[in-house]
Structure 1
Amino acid sequence: MARWYLLFLILLERLQSINMLWGFKMKIIFFLLLVSFPSVVYSKVFVNDHGHIEYHGVITESKNVTAFTLFEKSNAKPKRIVISSSGGAVESGIQLGEWVRENTLDVEVGEYCISSCANYVFIAGKDKFLRRSSFVGWHGSLLQMRQLPFVSASYLKAVDDYSLSCDLSELRARYGSQFEFPVSSNHLRECVLLRELGVDYRVMILGQHSDHYESIKHVGLWSYSYDALKALGVNNIILTDNIWEPPLYVGDQKIFYFDINSLAFFKQKKARFIQSG
């Protein structure tokens, strides 16, 4: 059942994303899933008994405001946000990630943290807590290509150069016609957030490269091992149960996890991939 539950969460994220186009037939199918599995859309923000902010469901501006207000009104400021989210609109995800960073909050992943939650919130935590079965999944960024997979290693190099300067002009001149999403102010906010966190921007697009796309295209997302995350600059990960055993499947499809060995190709393209632990 856990395999299919994760599948429903991923489908929910895709339906709710403002950048995804869904056909009428898919919406009908997903409506039936929601009726059958209402827990998939559980959505709430509150302060729990431990004084942590709990954030459940799709990331939205209104729920962000609720979290911000709870924080400001608390006499003893929460030091951790516990989140289970399938993602949400890019702008809302960045907004929440920026707030987490500005307030030096820890982030604990409950059941899952996918898409905008992984891209911007999980990585922003001062310390990042993972439970034994917590799942963290990526499936793209604002700089992903319209046609996937992308083959060019030079694009990865260009994205890396951009991530250090956050000046989009050269990358846009070379590849702008191939971007899936129109350039907006969110591109700069996204880049600045990851740069300030010291996280390799390509954590959000590596699975879309041709070397590994066959392994992820049916699931539509990928994840990373503990050591691979550290190699990508996602540091201060704490395993609450001293072990991390995230789901290996979505439905009947196996999830691809990058490990240090599968990052070998990209190590040649980027000096930042020099530490594995």
Structure 2
Amino acid sequence: MSPAVKTSLFFIALLVGLTWAFSFLFEADTTGVSRNENGEIKYYGPIDNGRFEEFKRLYQRGDRLLIRSTGGDLNVGMAFGRFIHENRIPLEVVDFCISSCANYVFLSAPVKTLSRHALVVFHGGPKQKNFLDQMERAYAEDAPVGTSYGVENYEAVVTISEDYRQARYALRSANQRNECPEDQIRNFDGRCVPYSAQQRLNFLIKMEEMLYDSVDPFMDKNIPYYGQLHDYESTYQSYRYFGFYYGIDTLEKLNVSGIELKDGVWEPERNPLFDDVYLVEL
């Protein structure tokens, strides 16, 4: 493999290594993925690569997804959403679907069933106002694994993973061999070019928008963000709430299709998390 290709792969690894995580505030990391004889796959737990790979291993055409998740990795969430969309997998939210679960898994399903007390909670993503600042700090500080930037549990955050650390060291080594400055990479035509946090952020935003376009080009692309903007900005920045949710009418106004109520009734106010989220109306 040529040095240019290797360096480009390190660039992708850096993107993958910066994970967007919602901490496991509501559930211990002891849940998992299982399939029953009725063709239902239960996905209970964080959005991470191990569980997603197990979900794909268990999946059979025609299966239905039951999900209960606080969210997790941004990149895995997008991959999960693409898999849901491409295979037309119907989904039911059991209790809650938060953060990357809401942004990518829920919004990608052709049929989105809400159980009686379910909450679908958003709290930002790569277009969040402070996300670039978080990424720039992560790249600049060379922090240890597990360091997070942003306010965990209350917004999308950047967390340093082991994959990111290994990729960063590999990139530095490659740059030394290729005589590129530390803040640049060698591209396919052999030139040293910048690889800024802004470029990586643009990549993440582009990937998010491409997913939404593939699901439904008419679906509003700012669904994960309205609760952080305008009249809701002060509520968001109070950091008193884990996130925000929309009513059925607002979701339909935002061109989110396929919403169904399991029992014909939706009572999110009876969810134990209800007092920790706020309603966004548009």
Q: What TM-score does the superposition give when structure 1 sets the normalisation length?
A: 0.64
Matched, 1:103 2:103: no
Matched, 1:221 2:209: no
Q: Choose from 55, 65, 79 the match for 1:67.
A: 55
Quick one: distance in 2 between partners of 1:144 and 1:128? 25
SS at match of 1:204: coil
Query: Do the aligned residues in 2 keep the contact of 1:248 with 1:255 (CA within 8 Å)?
Result: no
SS at match of 1:222: strand
Query: Do the aligned residues in 1 keep the contact of 2:243 with 2:276 (CA within 8 Å)?
Result: no
Quick one: distance in 2 between partners of 1:104 and 1:252? 30
1:124 alignment partner in structure 2: 108
Quick one: distance in 2 between partners of 1:247 and 1:209? 23
Q: Choose from 97, 100, 123 the match for 1:113.
A: 97
Quick one: distance in 1 between partners of 2:274 and 2:63? 38
Q: Which has the higher helix share?
A: 1
Quick one: distance in 2 between partners of 1:245 and 1:187? 33
Identity %: 29
Aligned partner letter, 1:87: G
SS at match of 1:215: helix
Query: Do the aligned residues in 2 keep the contact of 1:140 with 1:204 (CA within 8 Å)?
Result: yes
Quick one: distance in 2 between partners of 1:21 and 1:138? 11
Question: Relative to structure 1, is the Cα distance of residues 251 and 236 closer, same or farther in structure 2, using a 3 angstrom cutoff?
Answer: closer
SS at match of 1:141: coil
1:244 alignment partner in structure 2: 266
1:188 alignment partner in structure 2: 206
Distance apart, 1:190 and its partner CA: 1.0
Give ranges in structure 2 of 5+ residues lacking alignment: 1-17, 132-195
Question: Relative to structure 1, is the Cα distance of residues 90 and 126 closer, same or farther in structure 2, using a 3 angstrom cutoff?
Answer: same
Query: Do the aligned residues in 2 keep the contact of 1:219 with 1:250 (CA within 8 Å)?
Result: no
Quick one: distance in 1 between partners of 2:211 and 2:36? 28
Question: Relative to structure 1, is the Cα distance of residues 127 and 219 closer, same or farther in structure 2, using a 3 angstrom cutoff?
Answer: same
**CA deviation profile, 1:118-177 (whole Å, cap 9, x unmatched):** 000001111101001011000001111118xxxxxxxxxxxxxxxxxxxxxxxxxxxxx9
1:197 alignment partner in structure 2: 215
Quick one: distance in 2 between partners of 1:139 and 1:127? 22
Quick one: distance in 2 between partners of 1:257 and 1:134? 14
- Aligned-residue Cα RMSD (Å) equals 3.0
Distance apart, 1:249 and its partner CA: 7.7
Query: Do the aligned residues in 1 keep the contact of 2:71 with 2:97 (CA within 8 Å)?
Result: yes
Matched, 1:46 2:64: no
Distance apart, 1:246 and its partner CA: 1.1
Quick one: distance in 2 between partners of 1:131 and 1:95? 24
Distance apart, 1:65 and its partner CA: 1.1
2:19 alignment partner in structure 1: 18
Greater relative CO, 1 or 2 (CA 8 Å, sep 6+): 2
Quick one: distance in 1 between partners of 2:276 and 2:80? 30
Query: Do the aligned residues in 1 keep the contact of 2:110 with 2:258 (CA within 8 Å)?
Result: yes
Distance apart, 1:84 and its partner CA: 0.4
Distance apart, 1:78 and its partner CA: 3.6
Query: Do the aligned residues in 2 keep the contact of 1:86 with 1:115 (CA within 8 Å)?
Result: yes
- Structure number with greater Rg is 2
Distance apart, 1:219 and its partner CA: 0.3
